[in-house]
Amino acid sequence: MPKLSRSDALFLTLKIFLSLAVIAAALIVGFFLLIFMSFGGIWTITMILSLFILPLLLPLIWLNKKKRYLVGYGSYVLCFAILLGTQLGIRAYNNSITIDTAPAINVHEYMPFDEGSKIVKIDSQTLSFDGVPERLLPKIDGAAAAFPVYSAFVHAVYPDTVGFNTKDGAFVYNNTVYGYRALGEKATDIFIGAAPSEEQVENARQLGTTFEYTQIGSEAFVFFVHRDNPIESLSVEQIKGIYSGEITNWSEVGGKNEKIVAFQRNEGSGSQSMLIRFMAGTPIMPPDTQTSVGGMGDIIEEVADYKNKSTSIGFSFRFYVEGIIKNPDIKMIAIDGIAPTVENIKNGSYPIIAPVYAVTYKDNPNPNVQKLIDWMLSEEGQYIIEQSGYVGVGN
């Protein structure tokens, strides 16, 4: 074997080093690609290919001039291209058969004091916080579904200089999960929405905070399916059977011979907490990564609330589905033959009523908190609740 010159030895070493580097990078990147693919990370995959794999291949192709290297690395790139194309095809197919009914409320469409805002606009004749120092304004927060309501409260009684979503502002939006955390930490004064989960109550207790509840309205907790699903009504027991995992096929409840895909929310969200209360001790089947979805507020909660195939079922609150989402491809189903209408909420015939609370904490030293709560129960406050799409406590 002829002795290599120093330059040839360095060149060979470089080729070996780069080859090993590519193999190691391919294994690492391939592992992460599988993870990202499971979450549908199309653009992440593309970015990895562009920034990591292809640049590593180019020097190897330049160093290894023999055709077999070009063929080998070309095949490597081709495999990734096929993988990416397949994933894009799967994504396109899933989008064609799924429905995004995310709680994608655009808060900027419901801001107080904006001329084009969609909120109910009144100027209170019985309560005004004009001239009240910022530190004494009750810090009000709430769930996504309640945002139009408490934004209208702010419009009616707060000064038009009130800040929104700032650390020291009196008008914030944290959603249910982070909203109850903030209230437990006494960083806010009032939370508008569904009742907290047992875990949220316990977390607040450990911080020395006791929640107090004032019902200011009523709402329907609803279940919905794809419009192509022939099911129009389910009984309370049938829904409990679906979410406990005892009923797994639509044919068991009068539908098609298809597997039921039952979606759930993230722990601590208002609707998931309501599902737990609705199940009344019946164990809920654990969701998998495909049927567990979050709300809004962080990276997880920015994903769609529900992605409904024609065989799936989801849950939310009536006003959210009917007044904010307004997705024509889903339909709310009746419970025990009773539709979730405003009239059926008022007369009490709909079986699953969800109270809307103004939640505060015990011994809050700010006197304006109770003034605002009392005003919410007044004729003006109840008018806003009713006109926003909820049912007032007077009914």
Q: Are 150 and 236 members of one domain?
A: no
Residue 53 placed within a domain: yes
End residue of a domain, out of 35, 63, 97: 97
Q: Are 242 and 339 members of one domain?
A: yes
- Asked whether residue 204 carries a pLDDT value surpassing 80, the answer given is yes
Helix axes 147-157, 367-376, angle to 10 degrees: 110
- Asked whether residue 189 carries a pLDDT value surpassing 50, the answer given is yes
Nearest to 180 by CA among 316, 324, 357, 371: 357
Residue 106 placed within a domain: no
pLDDT band at 87 (very low <50, low <70, confident <90, very high): low
pLDDT band at 374 (very low <50, low <70, confident <90, very high): very high
Q: Are 224 and 332 members of one domain?
A: yes
Residue 383 placed within a domain: yes
pLDDT at 363: 96
- Asked whether residue 230 carries a pLDDT value surpassing 90, the answer given is yes
Q: Are 26 and 47 members of one domain?
A: yes
Above pLDDT 90, what percent of the chain?
A: 50
Question: Residue 282: helix, strand or coil by DSSP?
Answer: coil
Total structural domains in the chain?
A: 3
CATH code for the domain in which residue 342 is found: 3.40.190.10
pLDDT tens across 209-218, in order? 999 999 999 9
List C-alpha distances in Å: 33 to 20, 30, 54, 78. Answer: 19, 5, 15, 16
Residue 368 placed within a domain: yes
Q: Which residue has the higher pLDDT, 47 or 370?
A: 370
Nearest to 217 by CA among 316, 294, 290, 146: 146
pLDDT at 368: 98
Q: Are 272 and 294 members of one domain?
A: yes
Average pLDDT over residues 168-188: 92
Tokens of 2: 């002829």
Q: Are 130 and 211 members of one domain?
A: yes
- Per-residue burial over 276-289, b if 16 or more Cβ lie within 10 Å, else e, is bebeeeeebeebee
Residue 42 placed within a domain: yes
Residue 104 placed within a domain: no
Q: Are 199 and 235 members of one domain?
A: no
Q: How far apart are CA 5 and CA 264, in angstroms?
A: 67
Q: Which residue has the higher pLDDT, 48 or 337?
A: 337
Which residues touch 148 (CB under 8 Å, ≥6 apart)?
Answer: 110, 118, 119, 120, 323, 324, 388, 389
Question: Residue 262: helix, strand or coil by DSSP?
Answer: strand
Reported in sequence order, the residue ranges of 264-372 that DSSP labels E, i.e. its strands, are 312-317, 330-332, 334-335, 353-361
Question: Residue 313: helix, strand or coil by DSSP?
Answer: strand
Nearest to 263 by CA among 287, 235, 282: 287
- Asked whether residue 376 carries a pLDDT value surpassing 70, the answer given is yes
Average pLDDT over residues 247-256: 94
- Asked whether residue 77 carries a pLDDT value surpassing 70, the answer given is no
Q: Are 192 and 273 members of one domain?
A: no
Q: Are 131 and 151 members of one domain?
A: yes
Q: How many CB atoms lie within 10 A of CB 262?
A: 22
- Asked whether residue 296 carries a pLDDT value surpassing 50, the answer given is no
| Cβ atoms of residues 84 and 291 within 8 Å | no
Q: How many CB atoms lie within 10 A of CB 242?
A: 21
Q: Are 344 and 299 members of one domain?
A: yes
| Cβ atoms of residues 362 and 186 within 8 Å | no
pLDDT tens across 140-154, in order? 999 988 999 999 999
End residue of a domain, out of 39, 67, 97: 97
Q: Are 371 and 322 members of one domain?
A: no
pLDDT at 4: 58
- Per-residue burial over 122-150, b if 16 or more Cβ lie within 10 Å, else e, is eebeebebeebeeeebbbbbbbbbbbbbb
pLDDT tens across 361-372, in order? 999 999 999 999
Residue 144 placed within a domain: yes
pLDDT at 324: 73
- Asked whether residue 90 carries a pLDDT value surpassing 60, the answer given is no
Average pLDDT over residues 323-352: 90
Residue 102 placed within a domain: no
Amino acid, res. 302: E
Tokens of 298: 């962080």
Average pLDDT over residues 312-332: 83
Q: Are 341 and 368 members of one domain?
A: no
* CA gyration radius, the chain: 28
Q: How far apart are CA 286 and CA 216, in angstroms?
A: 33
Domain that holds residue 16: 6-97
pLDDT band at 64 (very low <50, low <70, confident <90, very high): low
| Cβ atoms of residues 119 and 151 within 8 Å | yes
pLDDT band at 272 (very low <50, low <70, confident <90, very high): confident
